[in-house]
């Protein structure tokens, strides 16, 4: 898998009704916005020139819970098969920093969040 690292800032707003993740590029603005609402499908709003992608129902139903577990647990590891492909979501906290990785099919996101 050929990947080029991209530096992004991440803003997470976690609430009971709707949680929002914004990925921003410095001097460019939002690159991707992910909304996970109570009893709503996961909404992924890519930037203007990106390609749409399919989100499996199992991810739609559980993403908000997995995100909450990632943010609030010391360690979170989810490895499961979804529609015949491996889905991995791992997080761990260390020194006021949350490291995370999410992968599914040929898509992979990794990074960290710092607590202020």
Stretch (H or E) spanning 64: helix 57-72
Q: Name residue 41's beta-bridge partners.
A: none
Pairing of strands 18-25, 97-104: unpaired
> pLDDT digits over 55-108, tens only?
788 888 888 888 888 888 889 999 999 888 899 999 998 888 888 888 888 778
Chain mean position to CA 24: 13
Which residues share a beta bridge with 108? 103
> What pLDDT shows up at residue 64?
82
């Amino acid at each position: 898998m050929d990947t080029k690292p991209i530096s992004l800032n991440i803003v997470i707003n976690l609430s009971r009704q709707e949680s929002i993740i914004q990925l921003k590029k410095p001097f460019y603005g939002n690159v991707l916005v992910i909304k996970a609402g109570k009893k709503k499908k996961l909404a992924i709003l890519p930037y203007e020139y990106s390609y749409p992608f399919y989100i499996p129902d199992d991810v739609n139903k559980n993403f908000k819970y997995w995100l909450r577990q990632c943010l609030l647990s010391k360690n979170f590891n989810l490895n499961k098969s979804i529609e015949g492909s491996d889905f991995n979501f791992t997080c761990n906290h260390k020194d006021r920093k949350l490291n995370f990785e999410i992968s599914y099919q040929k898509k992979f996101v990794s990074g960290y969040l710092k607590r202020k």
